[in-house]
């Protein structure tokens, strides 16, 4: 008997929605939704060549080729080229792993680099390192691509003309001999003790040397506040594992790369509703736009960035009343007040909760908020007794450096004759009020060391190629102060020099080829005298710990020096110092629109603007690739006249990525696409243009824009990608600019978003509930929606034979997944996933094997945001396998859904039949052809840049055109583990040798350990425990595909005293209504037949 | 009305059918024979830059495979020896032989910075196939099974087709090839009889739990 499995009826307003247009159910959106690929995706518009024309042309070409004969039947001759001398520890075909660190502005990312024949291919977190315990982020995962970027600066230029290294050496030797005055150095912030030592030496030998440091997204505001409130050279170290209640004020502390990984271990262990003994923490967030941290908050308040200070003040008033702290009252007496409308009930209830948990709470504030706001927050923490309990202080001992403002003053006064710029790109990203580009013209000689030839190097006399951190020796202190090593994985590919090399040259010393400079620092630090470096022994004998060389080798092997963290101190809080900062507070303009400058989740402050992996990684919230956008709230958009159901004829973004055309030839009633209005944002006589996107959950009266885009003349690839917001950013207020004018220009802009066209129609995909509901009904995630009453399985199919002892599976904890994209980029690096370009992303042809789906739930103005990582679910009854005509996708006995590329003929039936839409098709030879020549067919240039070939993982096939691909569960790592087991067993029973623990790429990268992979049949393995968890559910259970990926429902911990607390954790609807909004029984009204959406 | 078709055309259909069958059969047989690795690859014997003889080194001098192919037991690749390995002996023996000119050029008097020796590759699986030497030699598969009697080759040539079907012949029935662990690198070892091989192979397969993968993922990643 045929069974009807009816789809749950769609509610008029779905509770789980992904974009405003879906919520609006406009006909244009329906059009976009129902097509897997947009209309016109099969037509190349420049020539009007349709697929049919193309087939005719190709047929003719093939016929002609046949006449040409059978040349090329023989395989081409290939060569095996052995080493002339064996390289130490190198075994052809085996990976070598080295510990190293990626320097960051406030710390370091401890890494383990995988190298193949002497070239790094993949970076993973260093699990031994105390500062990160193995966590990474998207930036560090992608940084390996920068190493191989063919656009890197490759030669020394003098006045734009290539010159020889000798010419530059002669120039520096002259400087070093004369040691003239008027030298200034502008460096990026880096916590490198060796560079600090070189700085001291330079300052001692050059009279009046000005050492300045600049970071566009640095923590200089916070350092200023700490210096006033505590002492110079102190860093606050929040201990989230000790906090029951956390309040983040404009602070995305979980995803900012400098801190996120350092905080991850502490925060996420307390975010677990199943942990015995430690109650789940509660997170309050006040912010103007959605951040990953805001997404997992229990209570979130939308507030403009310029009223954060006022929020903190009202909080302080309530806390002061509760705690009767004299110092807080004193500070409040001096605090400026602002008359703005805020949700006082929210603030009061939050303050009550903090006061109730005094000494067990943490308030963090964004590092770029003005110093007086920071000082106010420190005062509250002090009043709550958090300092010394949940917030410790470490003494960094860092000497303060001059700021870029000081440098600009010196240049303006004509005191700088030679400016040496170590990294950074001040001509592009310095505060606009300094007009740094024209200041550079006033300096007679500018020397610039940089990875790329960019805005600054064009204004410099000398442009020097810098060495990537994977090419140099160095050292760095991690966030907690642990002394960490930077080892070169490869010699500089293009002869770049490091900062330390340049400093050596300036001191008149010969450039050291090895780690001598770092060794000197190391020796000073450990008090050991190092002999000239010896060949490191493979094993460190325990009795030789005294030996300094052994200590050095241990340092290199582990990547850090044990017990070298900053000493913890307990500096006294100085209320008058805090109060002294209030004078600098600027009055809040309550009804004026503010512009908030964000760290881009793709390019940081612009430093990764050439990194195509990151550019194509969708922003965690907007899912925009290749661009940045100005975010506004729905209400503000309405008030400003920014359209948000903006359908226009399909825009072609041809060839070059962002050259916008307004070709309206294709306009028909059905050719819709979503475009954004371009707005002009102006303040103080300057203006920028940006595409505006309506963002749910954004604060009203506020516009947010990510920095780092809109570069000009850097490369053909990047010209005009996104919009540059730096022209409106001033040195006094790096976080926001109050009182800007925003007006639509009437023009529109095509965006490439990975989100809209793959909607899942309001089914219970992400499931969430509250802690109370979880306690009452622990299995609620498993009975949500249809899952509570699926009839028994009557499948006609027999399951594939899963005979292997190991059965691979995965569990993803949605409670801790913030959507930070680390897994997405890690997967791209591990699995040789190509980049397709903006034009192709607009046709939904992105290739990423993992995507993060992001949903909004609830009130469109102030919804909850949920993230869900989706990859191939490796279904036991995989729908893709049954439709493949050539058996290219089949099941293995250990439960993997395999993809045999060499069998695939590209019918794409499997992708059509996949309920998760995780299969990716190579429409073009993305690896072999330039992205701007994809449509040229055989006329396009063929081949990959040599340096990019070096970045590929040799254990994963590089796929060609016409082939389907998808997540393999990192089968290369699984096979490697299985093979190692067999090699170890040798002529013995392999059953007696267990498979060694290994991690898949996304799992390794995840800072919150939300992704767990392993053998689900192994008793006691973490993945098998999680898969059996009460919170565990599989998606689309009623389809009976039996996926191997289990999701763990998100549990929120709301405070019942808060306003709107009853709306927290209700993404799937109110449990006390029916079973949820997607409730349905077979045969109920308005059935949507299953399959109608495929 | 005259006939449109001449009389001989009555014979045409069956003549065409027979012709078609013959041509078809020739095509099928021809492709089966000439277009498969059994024909296209077996016997491939390119001229190498150095006339290295396995007969001299293995058969006459008795060197073990692993003396030069050092990492075959631990790595997926069975490495071609580095110039250093060659020069370990050839700085003393045949130190001036003109046949070793290319090796000496690469060695460059010990500096090792000369142009490396470009050995012509003979055995080659496709890029999407990941073969692992270590797991085979550690689990009872001899070099001989895939490379033939290399010890008797003056100039190395491909002895086996190394096609997927050929791989699967062994993966489906490893008992026909498994050897005692001590005889892996003995190229002259022969089972006493086919039955003796089968008995031995079945025993090893049972004892060692040899279970070669036959799903795509075993070799294709």
Please indicate whether, in this complex, the C-beta atoms of B79 and A92 are within 8 angstroms of each other. Answer: yes
- The residue of B112, B116, B221 whose CB has the most chain A CBs within 10 angstroms, and thus the best one to mutate to test that interface, is B221
Beta strands in A493-609 (DSSP E): 568-569, 593-598
DSSP E strands: which ranges in A536-666? 568-569, 593-598, 624-625, 630-632, 647-649
Mean pLDDT (whole number) for A617-630: 90
Kindly report which listed range (A342-351, A791-800, B144-153) carries the lowest average pLDDT score: A791-800
Angle at B94 between CA B91 and CA B99, to 5 degrees: 110
Instruction: Tell whether the model's pLDDT for residue A32 goes beyond 70.
Output: no
Q: How confident is the model at residue A638 (pLDDT cuts 50, 70, 90)?
A: confident
Which has the closest alpha carbon to A954: A133, A216, A278, A95? A95
Task: Give A382-426 pLDDT, tens digit per residue.
Answer: 999 999 999 999 998 888 899 999 999 999 999 999 999 999 899
Tokens (6 digits) for A1083: 């045969």
Q: What percent of chain A has pLDDT over 90?
A: 53
Confidence of residue A48 (pLDDT cuts 50, 70, 90): very low
**Inter-chain residue contact B84 with A986, CB threshold 8 Å:** no
| pLDDT at residue A812 is higher than 50 | yes
Residue A844: predicted pLDDT? 86
Residues in chain A: 1094
The answer to whether residue B106 neighbours chain A at the CB level (below 8 Å) is yes
Candidate from A12-21, A942-951, A962-971, B147-156 with smallest mean pLDDT = A12-21
Of the pLDDT bands very low, low, confident and very high (cuts 50, 70, 90), residue A696 is confident
> Do the Cβ atoms of A558 and A345 come closer than 8 Å?
no
pLDDT at A528 over 70: no
- Please indicate whether, in this complex, the C-beta atoms of B84 and A83 are within 8 angstroms of each other: yes
pLDDT at A327: 84
* pTM (2 d.p.): 0.88
Predicted pLDDT at A50:
56
CA angle A275–A278–A279, rounded 5-degree value: 90
For residue A101, pLDDT beyond 70: yes
Which residue's entry shows tokens 């949507």?
Answer: A1088
Model confidence at A651, in pLDDT bands (50, 70, 90)? very low
CB atoms within 10 A of CB B57: 16
- When pLDDT is cut at 50, 70 and 90, the band that residue A663 belongs to is very low
Question: Residue A1094: is its pLDDT beyond 70?
Answer: no
Q: Which two tokens stand for residue A521?
A: 């620092």
Segment A124-141, tens digit of pLDDT = 999 999 988 888 999 999
Contact A418, A443 (CB under 8 A): yes
Q: Which chain A residue is nearest to residue B46, measuring alpha carbons?
A: A77
Contacting A residues, span 1028-1087, partner chain B, CB-CB under 8 Å:
none
CA distance A793 to chain B (A): 28
pLDDT band at residue A1087 using 50, 70 and 90 as cut-offs = very low
B138 and A986: CB-CB below 8 Å?
A: yes
The count of other CB atoms within 10 Å of the CB of residue A1074 is 11
Q: Does A9 have pLDDT greater than 90?
A: no
Whether the Cβ atoms of residue A185 and residue A406 lie closer than 8 Å to each other? no
A963-1002 residues touching B, CB cutoff 8 A: 968, 971-972, 975, 979, 982-983, 985-991
Chain A hits for B132, CB-CB cut-off 8 Å, are 979
DSSP state of A887: -
pLDDT score for A18: 52
Residues 128-187 of B with CB under 8 A from A: 128, 130, 132, 134-135, 138-140, 181
Q: Residue A305: which of A428, A425, A221, A431 has the closest Cα?
A: A221
Q: Is the pLDDT of residue A244 over 90?
A: yes
pLDDT interval class at A344 (50, 70, 90) = very high
- Smallest CA–CA distance, residue B193 to chain A, in Å, is 22
User: Looking at chain A from residue 860 to 899, which residues have their Cβ under 8 Å from any Cβ of chain B?
Assistant: 890-893, 896, 898-899
Of A46-60, A328-342, A793-807, A955-969, which one has max mean pLDDT? A955-969
- Sequence-ordered strand ranges (E) for A175-289: 183-187, 210-213, 234-238, 245-249, 282-287
pLDDT at A557: 92
Q: What is the mean pLDDT of chain B?
A: 91
pLDDT of residue A662: 40
Give me the helices (H) in A716-821, please.
Answer: 771-776
CB A393 within 8 A of CB A568: yes
Of A93-97, A262-266, A1081-1085, minimum mean pLDDT range: A1081-1085
State yes or no: pLDDT of A659 exceeds 50: no
Measured between CB atoms, does A901 come within 8 Å of chain B? yes
Contact A983 B216 (CB under 8 A): no
With 90 as the cut, is the pLDDT of residue A510 above it?
no
Mean pLDDT of A139-145: 93
pLDDT of residue A210: 94
Closest CA to A18 of A7, A4, A32: A32
Nearest residue on chain A to B80, alpha-carbon basis:
A82
Test A987 with B124 for CB contact under 8 angstroms: no
Q: Which residues on chain B are in Cβ contact (under 8 Å) with A983?
A: 73-74, 134-135, 138
Dump pLDDT digits (tens) for A1007-1058.
999 999 999 999 888 999 999 999 999 998 888 888 999 999 999 999 999 9
pLDDT recorded at residue B213: 92
A570 at interface of B, judged by CB pairs closer than 8 A? no
* Closest-CA residue to A715 (of A97, A47, A150): A150
- Count of A-B CB contacts under 8 Å: 142
Q: What is the per-residue pLDDT for A227?
A: 93
Q: What DSSP line would sit under B105-153, residue for residue? A: HHHGGGT--SPPP-EEP-----TT----HHHHHHTT--HHHHH--GGG-
Mean pLDDT of A957-972: 94
Torsion of the alpha carbons at A694, A699, A700 and A701, rounded to the nearest 10: -100
pLDDT per position as a tens digit, B8-64: 888 999 999 999 999 999 999 998 888 888 888 888 899 999 999 999 999 999 999
- Kind and range of the H or E element at A729? none
CA atoms within 13 A on the CB side of A413: 9
Q: How far is B151 from chain A (nearest CA, A)?
A: 20
pLDDT at A55 over 90: no
Which contiguous run of DSSP H or E holds residue A133?
Answer: none
Distance (Å, rounded) from C-alpha A304 to C-alpha A306?
5
Q: Is A1090 in contact with A1039 (CB distance < 8 Å)?
A: yes
**Are A481 and A566 a contacting pair, CB within 8 Å?**
yes
| Residue A89 at interface with chain B, using a CB cutoff of 8 Å | no
**pLDDT value, residue A8:** 46
Q: State yes or no: pLDDT of A34 exceeds 70.
A: no
Whether the CB-CB separation of A627 and A752 falls below 8 Å is answered with yes
Q: CB distance from B209 to chain A under 8 Å?
A: yes
**Set of chain B residues whose Cβ sits within 8 Å of the Cβ of A893:** 215
For a pLDDT cut of 70, what percent of chain A falls above it?
Answer: 84
A129 vs A59, residue with greater confidence:
A129
Q: Which of A229, A720, A153 is nearest to A451 (CA)?
A: A153
pLDDT recorded at residue A1: 40
**pLDDT at residue A620 above 60?**
yes
CB contact under 8 A, A987 and B204: yes
Higher-confidence position of A933 and A528: A933
Determine how β-strand A361-365 pairs with β-strand A391-395: unpaired
| Residue A676: pLDDT over 90 | no
| CA B37/CA B54 separation, integer angstroms | 24
Taking CA atoms, what residue in B is nearest to A980? B135
For the ranges A522-531, A855-864, B112-121, which has the lowest average pLDDT?
A: A522-531
A900's tokens: 């045999």
**Spacing of C-alpha A1060 from chain mean position:** 31
Per-residue pLDDT of A881-910, as tens digits, reads 999 999 999 999 999 999 999 999 999 999
The predicted model gives A809-824 an average pLDDT of 93
- How far is Cα A11 from Cα A1, in angstroms, rounded to an integer? 30
Could you identify the residue written with the tokens 């399951």? A799
Predicted confidence band of residue A63 (pLDDT cuts 50, 70, 90) = low
Under the banding of pLDDT at 50, 70 and 90, the label for residue B194 is very high
B47 touches chain A (CB under 8 A): no
Q: How far is A890 from chain B (nearest CA, A)?
A: 8
Q: State pLDDT tens for residues A429-486.
A: 999 999 999 999 999 999 999 999 988 999 999 999 999 999 999 999 998 899 999 9
The predicted pLDDT at position A1066 comes to 82
Under 8 Å between Cβ of A355 and A531? no
pLDDT above 80: residue A258: no
Q: Is the pLDDT of residue A978 over 80?
A: yes
* pLDDT surpassing 70 at residue A602: yes
């Amino acid at each position: 008997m045929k069974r009807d499995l009816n789809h749950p009826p769609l509610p008029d307003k779905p509770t789980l929605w992904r974009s405003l247009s879906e919520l609006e159910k406009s006909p244009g959106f329906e059009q976009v939704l129902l097509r897997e690929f947009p209309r016109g995706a099969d037509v190349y518009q420049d020539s009007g060549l349709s697929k049919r024309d193309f087939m005719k042309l190709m047929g003719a070409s093939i016929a002609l080729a046949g006449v040409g004969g059978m040349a090329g039947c023989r395989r081409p001759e290939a060569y095996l080229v052995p080493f002339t001398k064996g390289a130490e520890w190198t075994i052809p075909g085996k990976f070598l792993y080295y510990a190293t660190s990626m320097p960051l502005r406030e710390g370091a990312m401890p890494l383990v680099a995988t190298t193949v024949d002497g070239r790094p291919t993949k970076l993973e977190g260093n699990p031994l390192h105390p500062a990160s315990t193995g966590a990474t982020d998207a930036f560090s995962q992608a940084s390996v691509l920068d190493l191989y970027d063919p656009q890197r600066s490759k030669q020394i230029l003098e006045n734009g003309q290539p010159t020889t290294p000798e010419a530059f050496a002669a120039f520096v030797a002259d400087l070093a001999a004369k040691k003239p005055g008027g030298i200034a150095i502008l460096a990026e912030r880096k916590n490198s003790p060796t560079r600090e030592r070189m700085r001291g030496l330079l300052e001692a030998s050059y009279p009046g040397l000005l050492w300045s440091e600049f970071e566009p997204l640095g923590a200089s505001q916070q350092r200023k506040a700490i210096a006033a409130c505590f002492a110079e050279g102190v860093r606050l170290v929040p201990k989230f594992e000790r906090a029951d209640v956390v309040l983040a004020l404009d602070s995305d502390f979980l995803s900012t790369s400098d801190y996120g990984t350092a905080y991850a271990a502490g925060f996420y262990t307390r975010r677990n509703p199943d942990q015995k003994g430690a109650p789940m923490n509660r997170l309050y967030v006040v912010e103007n736009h959605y951040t990953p941290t805001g997404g997992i908050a229990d209570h979130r308040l939308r507030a403009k960035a310029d009223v954060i200070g006022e929020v903190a003040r009202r909080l302080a008033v309530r806390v002061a009343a509760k705690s009767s702290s004299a110092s807080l009252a004193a500070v409040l007496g001096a605090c400026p007040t602002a008359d703005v409308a805020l949700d006082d009930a929210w603030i009061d209830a939050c303050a009550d909760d903090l006061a109730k948990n005094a000494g067990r709470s943490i308030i963090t504030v964004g590092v770029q908020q003005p110093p007086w706001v920071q000082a106010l927050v420190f005062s509250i923490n002090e009043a709550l007794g958090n300092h010394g309990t949940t917030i410790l202080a470490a003494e960094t001992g860092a000497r303060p450096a001059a700021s870029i403002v000081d440098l600009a003053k010196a240049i303006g006064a004509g005191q700088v004759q030679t400016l040496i710029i170590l990294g950074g790109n001040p001509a592009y990203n310095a505060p606009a009020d300094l007009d740094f580009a024209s200041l550079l013209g006033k300096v007679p000689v500018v020397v610039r060391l940089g990875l790329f030839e960019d805005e600054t190097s064009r204004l410099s006399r000398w442009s020097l190629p810098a060495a990537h951190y994977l090419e140099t020796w160095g050292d760095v202190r991690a966030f907690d102060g642990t002394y960490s090593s930077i080892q070169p994985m490869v010699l500089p590919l293009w002869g770049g020099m490091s900062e330390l090399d340049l400093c050596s040259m300036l001191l008149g010393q010969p450039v050291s080829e090895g780690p001598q400079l770092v060794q000197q620092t190391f020796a000073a630090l450990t008090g050991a005298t190092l002999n000239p470096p010896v060949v490191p022994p493979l094993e460190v004998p325990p009795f030789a710990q005294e030996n300094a060389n052994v200590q050095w080798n241990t340092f290199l092997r582990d990547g850090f020096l044990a017990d070298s963290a900053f000493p913890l101190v307990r500096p006294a809080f100085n209320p008058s110092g805090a109060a002294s900062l209030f004078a600098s507070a600027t009055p809040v303009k309550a009804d004026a629109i503010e512009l908030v400058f964000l760290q881009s989740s793709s390019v940081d402050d612009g430093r990764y603007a050439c990194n195509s992996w990151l550019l194509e990684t969708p922003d965690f919230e907007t899912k925009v690739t290749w661009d940045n956008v100005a975010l506004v709230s729905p209400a503000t958009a309405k008030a400003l006249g920014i359209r948000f159901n903006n359908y226009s004829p399909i825009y072609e973004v041809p060839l070059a990525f962002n050259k916008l055309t307004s070709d309206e030839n294709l306009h028909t009633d059905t050719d819709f696409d979503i475009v954004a209005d371009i707005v002009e944002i102006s303040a103080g006589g300057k203006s920028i243009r940006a595409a505006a996107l309506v963002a749910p959950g954004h604060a009203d009266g506020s516009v947010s824009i990510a920095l780092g885009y809109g570069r000009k003349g850097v490369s053909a690839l990047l010209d005009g990608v996104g919009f540059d917001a730096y022209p409106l950013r001033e040195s006094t207020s790096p976080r926001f600019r109050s009182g800007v004018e925003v007006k639509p220009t009437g023009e529109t802009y095509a965006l490439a978003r990975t989100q809209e066209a793959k909607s899942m129609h309001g089914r219970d995909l992400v499931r969430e509930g509250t802690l109370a509901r979880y306690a009452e009904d622990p299995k609620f995630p498993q009975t949500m929606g249809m899952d509570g009453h699926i009839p028994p399985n009557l499948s006609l199919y027999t399951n594939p034979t899963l005979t292997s002892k190991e059965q691979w599976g995965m569990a993803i904890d949605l409670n801790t997944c913030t959507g930070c994209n680390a897994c997405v980029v890690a997967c791209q690096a591990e699995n040789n996933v190509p980049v397709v370009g903006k034009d192709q992303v607009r046709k939904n042809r992105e290739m990423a094997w993992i995507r993060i789906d992001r949903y909004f739930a609830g009130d469109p103005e102030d919804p909850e945001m949920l993230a869900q990582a989706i990859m191939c679910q490796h279904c036991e009854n995989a729908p893709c396998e049954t439709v493949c005509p050539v058996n290219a996708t089949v099941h293995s006995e250990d439960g993997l859904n395999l993809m045999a590329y060499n069998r695939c003929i590209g019918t794409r039936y499997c992708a059509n039949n996949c309920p998760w839409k995780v299969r990716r098709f190579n429409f073009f030879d993305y690896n072999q052809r330039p992205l701007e020549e994809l449509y040229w067919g055989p006329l396009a240039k063929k081949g990959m840049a040599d340096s990019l070939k070096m970045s590929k993982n040799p254990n994963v096939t590089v796929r060609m055109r016409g082939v389907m691909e998808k997540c393999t569960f990192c089968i290369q790592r699984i096979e490697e583990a299985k093979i190692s087991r067999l090699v170890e067993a040798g002529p013995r029973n392999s059953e007696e040798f267990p498979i060694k623990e290994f991690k898949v790429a996304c799992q390794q990268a995840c800072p919150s350990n939300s992704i767990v992979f392993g053998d689900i049949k192994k008793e006691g393995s973490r993945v098998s425990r999680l898969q059996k968890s009460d919170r565990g559910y599989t998606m689309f259970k009623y389809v009976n595909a039996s996926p191997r990926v289990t999701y763990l429902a998100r549990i929120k911990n709301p405070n019942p005293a808060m306003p709107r607390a009853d709306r927290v954790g209700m993404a799937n609807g109110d449990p006390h209504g029916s079973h949820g909004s997607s409730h349905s029984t077979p045969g109920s009204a308005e059935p949507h037949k299953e399959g109608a959406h495929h | 009305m005259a006939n449109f078709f001449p009389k001989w055309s009555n014979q045409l259909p069956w003549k065409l059918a027979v012709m078609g069958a013959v041509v078809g059969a020739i095509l099928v047989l021809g492709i089966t024979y000439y277009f498969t690795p059994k024909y296209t690859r077996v016997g491939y014997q390119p001229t190498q830059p150095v006339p290295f003889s396995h007969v001299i080194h293995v058969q006459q001098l008795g060197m073990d495979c692993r003396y030069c192919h050092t990492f075959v037991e631990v790595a997926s690749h069975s490495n071609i020896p580095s110039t250093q390995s060659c020069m370990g002996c050839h700085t003393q023996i045949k130190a001036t032989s003109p046949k070793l000119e290319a090796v000496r050029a690469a060695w460059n008097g010990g500096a090792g910075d000369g142009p490396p020796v470009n050995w012509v590759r003979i055995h080659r699986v496709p890029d999407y196939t990941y073969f692992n030497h270590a797991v085979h030699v550690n689990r009872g598969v001899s070099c001989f099974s895939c490379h033939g009697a290399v010890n008797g080759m003056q100039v190395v040539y491909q002895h086996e087709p190394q096609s997927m079907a050929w791989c699967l012949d062994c993966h489906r029935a490893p008992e026909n090839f498994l050897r005692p662990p001590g005889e892996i690198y003995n190229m002259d070892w022969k089972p006493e009889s086919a039955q003796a091989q089968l008995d031995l192979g079945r025993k090893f397969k049972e004892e060692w739990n040899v279970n070669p993968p036959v799903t795509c993922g075993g070799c294709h990643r």
